């Protein structure tokens, strides 16, 4: 029988074990191994069954067992020690507390997904897990962040694979009462509900759940409450579910509702209001409009409010793939962006923010990333290469400037080491290297022998093999109406064979099936008599992406061939739980995206932290960090004639590397059966690569390069009753209006007959400033190495501000002068330009205005 309603009754834990409830309520257990061991000790089997989720586990464990432990003084003391450790973690000063008064007192971090633990499946892939790792590292560092997202009733989806290889999606509904979440309530106990006014006098309401991620609260908005009409209850049904209107409602809720939730929470909790708002991807862009509306409510005009909001907003773009950027039908957005929803905001002003550069404003799609960039004075991509790609991709927003001057920087992603490092490696470091801090241990030390390290690696591989068999046995029985799996399924994979992992979402650019380009070559690698290779593959395709599902099917079918099926497996339902066993179990982590479409990629970082070597196209993070000791580079065939040729060339390189370089090195053993050269690489990877890949490094960079900078900028702009914001808004309007009258009229040079290194080039430029004053602009000479295509080489280019020539009076044109020392031989070029100048502008390109000599 099917129950008509389901809910979760939380367990009552005996009073002496109250510490367990406190520990379960804070997600720090998800990265703090000692707390997990405390739970596991209660009942290891029930622990595994519950998916290692303390809240579910405490609901499931036999009450008699809890009573027994409540009477066990040793266990009670252990639990209390762990609780003490948590309290200390939550309150003691950490890295951030050493920062000065100009560091922001609070930062709000918005993302459409958060991957904290598999027990809270609110993520689809890299972006979510990155957001989770960001919050965890911020917690470890004591950074005062509050996370803001949505609570999706069914998360993303659970994947299974039919017998003929087709992806099936299930949407198991989560009961938030059974999760480590609590409702945000007012002091009188009533829940805080966020309300958004919709067209036709309707309203969208959302409950606010709070998860504790160590020191960091995460607020999640949930529309599945009785106050909503039935159709609106399902707004937060799934992550990246519907298109168009459904998605727009989710994003309005995330951005606008998210700010309202933060306001309510900070007030109730007595916390400082965020000074900095961090938008991750365009999805959360409406937060800027809500903040503008708030400021208009306090009397600011739109333009002034915009300056204020921009000063404190950081926008991070996470993908160069157009499908990853939300674009809405303009008419649809127009219908929703009413003064009821955003009091005081003229819909025309709001709509203008989403117009794509160069498009007809009346016909342009409403682009969330473009809006995000217009609402944020600070922007970044997520690896150096992705920064470059983003500067080109969004360059049209700053017309007239070369890509390298586009104000988008980069902060390379990182992964949270305590979450992603296998406990076996941590234990090994503790026993042999004298520290459990695997990131900073000296893995090259002689106090750890090769045999010991290799034995731990084998144990992790063995663990993966067992996990894969268990998953495949269960999947078989699922596919065959409960029939037991045949023997061979129990024998798949071998803990002594070179193991290559490939797991990620399945958009086309990640090329899941590149390895199948030449099936015979892959077969030969898998079945090599002395040096076999085995593959463990996993990944979910977006439910609407049949192309992705076809790729999975192709792979599954290949892996069904009787002579191959023990050497290549596809594991259904890739998630954080699988990932935790998969990365440590692999020797080689494969990544073969179409360069440069992988913005950063983080799975290879997690693999490296577990002593896997990377085999990857030079894209994302690997383009920055690749080294001979850390793995192998698959050369990109960027110059190939077409996509098919490119795939063929890159696949051939992949097979060659595996056959001639990787397998021989792996199977070359010394007397103890250890592959000496391999282990040397593994030690280098752990010692010198892994420490660069941590989320703590990433969060420190965000703090030091973006959050602090933003907070300082806000302070400058709000001082003196927001004089800075008013000045900047007035300046922008005046300069924009006058700009068509600004020209470089004439440039003279002298002082150099035939140029030699060390000579000075004297320059005089006469410019027409139209209605502007000399103080409004900078006149610059831009000079440096000139290239064959008549542009200036970005790397060898400098700028120098020219100074007004005071001896020239009265003329309509103004004269600016200066001199440049020719410090390098070779082709030299220069030009003169006029740009707006204001102390509160952060970059030359910020207003997108420039007048260049022609």
Closest CA to 420 of 693, 754, 50: 693
User: Min. distance of Cβ 719 from ligand PLP in angstroms?
Assistant: 41
User: Would you tell me which residues interact with ligand PLP (CB under 6 A)?
Assistant: 125-126, 129, 504, 574-576, 579, 601-603, 606
d(CA 675, CA 531): 13
551 or 711: CB nearest ligand PLP: 551
Considering the complex, state which of residue 115 and residue 285 has its C-beta at the smaller distance from ligand PLP.
115
Q: 574 or 816, CB closer to ligand PLP? A: 574
Smallest separation, CB 410 to ligand PLP (Å): 16
Nearest distance, CB of residue 695 and ligand PLP, angstroms: 12
- CB 602, min distance to ligand PLP, A: 4
d(CA 750, CA 363): 50
CB atoms under 10 Å from CB of 766, counted, come to 21
Strand-pairing partners, residue 780, are 801, 833
- Of 576 and 693, the one with the shorter C-beta distance to ligand PLP is 576
Of 61 and 135, the one with the shorter C-beta distance to ligand PLP is 135
Cα separation, 587 vs 536, in Å, equals 11
Contacts of residue 526, defined as CB under 8 A and 6 or more positions apart, other chains included, come to: 532, 533, 534, 535, 564, 567, 568
Instruction: Report in angstroms how near the CB of residue 441 gets to ligand PLP at its nearest.
Output: 23
User: 146 and 108 in contact (C-beta within 8 Å)?
Assistant: yes
CB of 603 to ligand PLP, least distance (A): 3
Query: In the bound complex, what is the minimum distance in angstroms from residue 351's beta carbon to ligand PLP?
Result: 34
> Hunting for tokens 């004297």 — which residue is that?
762
Question: 795: Cβ–Cβ under 8 A, 6 or more apart, which residues?
Answer: 785
Q: Minimal distance in Å, beta carbon 459 to ligand PLP?
A: 21
Q: What count of other Cβ atoms lies within 10 Å of the Cβ of residue 482? A: 8
Least distance in Å: CB of 373 to ligand PLP?
A: 23
Minimum CB separation from ligand PLP for residue 670, in Å?
Answer: 33
Q: What's the full length of the chain, in residues? A: 854
CB nearer ligand PLP, residue 377 or residue 614:
614
| Shortest distance, position 751 Cβ to ligand PLP, whole Å | 55
**With respect to ligand PLP, which residue has the nearer C-beta, 313 or 602?**
602
Q: 499 vs 592, which CB is nearer to ligand PLP?
A: 592
Least gap, CB of 638 to ligand PLP (angstroms): 21
Q: Shortest gap between Cβ of 384 and ligand PLP (angstroms)?
A: 16
Nearer to ligand PLP, 126 or 572 (CB): 126
| Min separation Cβ 577 and ligand PLP, Å | 8
Which one, of 174, 143, 140, lies nearest residue 157 by Cα? 174
Q: Are 790 and 849 in contact (CB under 8 A)?
A: no
Tell me the C-alpha distance between 206 and 368, whole Å: 22
- Token code pair at residue 555: 């792979």
For every residue of 621-666, DSSP letters joined together read HHHHH--TTTEEEE---TT-SSHHHHHHHHHHHHHHIIIIIIHHHH
| Residue nearest ligand PLP, CB atom distance | 603
Placement of tokens 């596991």 in the chain: 40
Cα torsion 371, 377, 378, 379 to 10°: value is 30
Q: What is the Cα–Cα distance from 15 to 5, expressed in whole angstroms?
A: 31
Structural element, H or E, at residue 783: strand 777-786
- Closest contact distance (angstroms) between CB of 49 and ligand PLP is 21
- Closest contact distance (angstroms) between CB of 117 and ligand PLP is 11
SS (H, E, C) 541-608: CCCCCHHHHHHHHHHHHHCCCCCCCCCEEEECCCCHHHHHHHHHHCCEEEECCCCCCCCCCCHHHHHH
Residues 425, 94: Cα–Cα separation, whole Å: 25
Q: Measured over all CA atoms, what is the biggest interatomic distance in the chain, rounded to whole angstroms?
A: 97
**Chain Cα centroid distance, residue 220:** 18
CB nearer to ligand PLP: pick between 113 and 275: 113
Of residues 573 and 727, the one with the C-beta less far from ligand PLP: 573
* C-beta closer to ligand PLP: residue 174 or 383: 383
φ, ψ dihedrals at 832, nearest 5°: -120, 140
Q: Least Å distance between CB 600 and ligand PLP?
A: 7
Nearer to ligand PLP by C-beta: 504 or 567? 504
For the chain, how far is it from start to end, CA to CA, in angstroms? 80
Torsion angles phi and psi, residue 325, rounded to 5: -110, 130
Question: Could you please report the per-residue DSSP string of 6-45?
Answer: ---PPPPPPGGGHHHHHHHHBGGGGT-HHHHHHHHHH-HH
| Contact assessment for residue 405 and residue 398, using Cβ atoms and an 8 Å cutoff | yes
Extended beta strands in 7-162, E state:
107-110, 114-115, 121-122, 145-150, 158-161
Minimum gap (Å) between residue 540 Cβ and ligand PLP: 8
Q: In terms of CB distance, is 321 or 652 closer to ligand PLP?
A: 321
The DSSP H or E segment spanning 262 is helix 258-269
Structure tokens at 773: 């004053």
d(CA 747, CA 767): 9
Q: Which is nearer to ligand PLP, 123 or 830 (CB)?
A: 123
Q: Quick one: 394 or 574, whose CB is closer to ligand PLP?
A: 574
DSSP secondary structure of 831-842 = EEEEEE--TT--
Helix, strand, coil shares of the chain as percentages rounded to 5? Answer: 45, 20, 35
The residue (of 412 and 602) whose beta carbon lies closer to ligand PLP is 602
Provide the angle, in degrees to the nearest 10, between the axes of the packed helices 18-25 and 73-91: 40
Pairing type for strands 121-122 and 114-115 reads antiparallel
**Nearer to ligand PLP among residue 467 and residue 566 (C-beta):** 467
């Amino acid at each position: 029988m099917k129950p008509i309603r389901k809910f979760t009754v939380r367990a009552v834990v005996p009073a002496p074990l109250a510490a367990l409830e406190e520990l379960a309520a804070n997600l720090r257990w998800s990265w703090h191994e000692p707390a997990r061991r405390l739970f596991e000790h209660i009942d290891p089997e029930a622990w595994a069954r519950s998916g290692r989720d303390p809240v579910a586990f405490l609901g499931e464990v036999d009450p008699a067992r809890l009573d027994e432990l409540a009477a066990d003084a040793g266990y009670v003391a252990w639990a209390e020690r762990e609780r003490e450790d948590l309290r200390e973690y939550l309150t003691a000063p950490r890295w951030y507390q050493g920062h000065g008064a100009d560091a922001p007192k609070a930062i709000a971090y918005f993302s459409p997904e958060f991957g904290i633990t598999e027990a809270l499946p609110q993520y689809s892939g890299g972006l979510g897990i990155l957001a989770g790792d960001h919050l965890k590292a911020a917690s470890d560092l004591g950074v005062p962040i509050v996370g803001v997202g949505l609570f999706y009733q069914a998360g993303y989806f659970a994947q299974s694979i039919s017998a003929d290889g087709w992806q099936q999606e299930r949407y198991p509904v989560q009961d938030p009462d059974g999760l480590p979440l609590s409702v945000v309530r007012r002091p009188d106990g009533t829940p805080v509900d966020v309300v958004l006014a919709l067209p036709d006098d309707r309203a969208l309401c959302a409950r606010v759940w709070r998860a504790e991620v160590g020191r960091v609260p995460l607020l999640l908005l949930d529309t599945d409450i009785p106050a909503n009409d039935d159709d609106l209850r399902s707004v937060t049904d799934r992550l990246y579910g519907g298109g168009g209107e459904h998605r727009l409602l989710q994003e309005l809720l995330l951005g606008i509702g998210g700010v309202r939730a933060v306001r309510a929470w900070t007030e109730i909790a007595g916390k400082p209001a965020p000074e900095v708002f961090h938008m991750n991807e365009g999805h959360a862009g409406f937060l800027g409009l809500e903040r503008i509306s708030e400021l208009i409510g306090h009397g600011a005009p739109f333009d002034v409010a915009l300056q204020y909001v921009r000063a404190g907003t950081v926008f991070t773009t996470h993908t160069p793939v157009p499908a990853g950027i939300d674009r809405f039908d303009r008419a649809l957005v127009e219908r929703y962006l009413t003064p009821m929803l955003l009091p005081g905001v003229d819909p025309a002003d709001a709509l203008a923010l989403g117009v794509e550069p160069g498009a007809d404003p009346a016909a342009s799609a409403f682009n969330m990333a473009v809006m995000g960039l217009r609402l944020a004075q600070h922007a970044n991509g997520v690896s150096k290469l992705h920064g470059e790609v983003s500067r080109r991709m969004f360059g049209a927003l700053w017309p007239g400037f070369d890509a390298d001057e586009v104000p988008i920087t980069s902060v390379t992603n990182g992964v949270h080491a305590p979450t992603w490092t296998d406990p076996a490696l941590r234990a090994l470091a503790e026993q042999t290297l004298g520290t459990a801090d695997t990131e900073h241990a000296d893995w090259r030390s002689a106090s750890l022998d090769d045999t010991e390290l290799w034995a731990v690696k084998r144990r992790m591989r063995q663990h993966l093999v067992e996990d894969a068999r268990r998953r495949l046995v269960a999947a078989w029985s699922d596919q065959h109406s409960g029939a037991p799996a045949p023997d061979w399924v129990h024998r798949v994979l071998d803990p002594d064979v070179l193991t290559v992992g490939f797991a990620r979402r399945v958009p086309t650019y990640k090329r899941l099936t590149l390895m199948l380009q030449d099936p015979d070559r892959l077969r030969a690698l898998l079945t090599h008599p002395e040096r076999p290779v085995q593959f463990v593959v996993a990944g979910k395709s977006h439910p609407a992406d049949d192309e992705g599902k076809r790729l999975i099917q192709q792979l599954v079918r290949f892996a069904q061939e009787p002579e191959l099926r023990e050497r290549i497996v596809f594991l259904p339902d890739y998630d954080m739980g699988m990932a935790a066993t998969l990365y440590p179990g692999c020797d080689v982590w494969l990544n073969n995206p179409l360069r440069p479409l992988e913005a950063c990629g983080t799975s290879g970082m997690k693999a490296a932290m577990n002593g896997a070597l990377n085999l990857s196209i030079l894209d994302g993070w690997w383009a920055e960090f690749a080294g001979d000791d850390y793995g192998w580079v698959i050369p990109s065939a960027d110059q190939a004639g077409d996509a098919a040729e490119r795939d063929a060339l890159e696949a051939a390189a992949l097979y060659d590397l595996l056959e001639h370089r990787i397998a021989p090195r792996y199977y070359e053993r010394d007397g103890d059966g250890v592959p000496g050269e391999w282990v040397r690489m593994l030690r280098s990877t752990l010692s010198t690569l892994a420490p660069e890949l941590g989320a703590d490094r990433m969060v420190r960079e965000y703090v030091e390069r973006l959050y602090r900078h933003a907070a300082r900028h806000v302070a400058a702009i709000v001082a003196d009753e927001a004089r800075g914001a008013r000045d900047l808004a007035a300046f922008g309007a005046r300069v924009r209006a006058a700009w068509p009258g600004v020209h470089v009229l004439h440039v003279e040079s002298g002082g150099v007959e035939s140029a030699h290194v060390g000579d000075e080039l004297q320059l005089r430029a006469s410019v027409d400033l139209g209605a502007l004053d000399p103080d409004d602009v900078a006149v610059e000479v831009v000079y440096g190495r000139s290239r064959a295509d008549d542009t200036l080489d970005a790397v060898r280019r400098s700028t120098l501000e020219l100074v007004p020539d005071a001896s020239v009076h009265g003329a309509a044109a103004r004269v600016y002068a200066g001199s440049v020392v020719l410090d390098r031989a070779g082709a030299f070029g220069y030009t003169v330009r006029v740009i707006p100048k204001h102390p509160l502008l952060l970059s030359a390109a910020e207003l997108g205005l420039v007048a260049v000599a022609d």
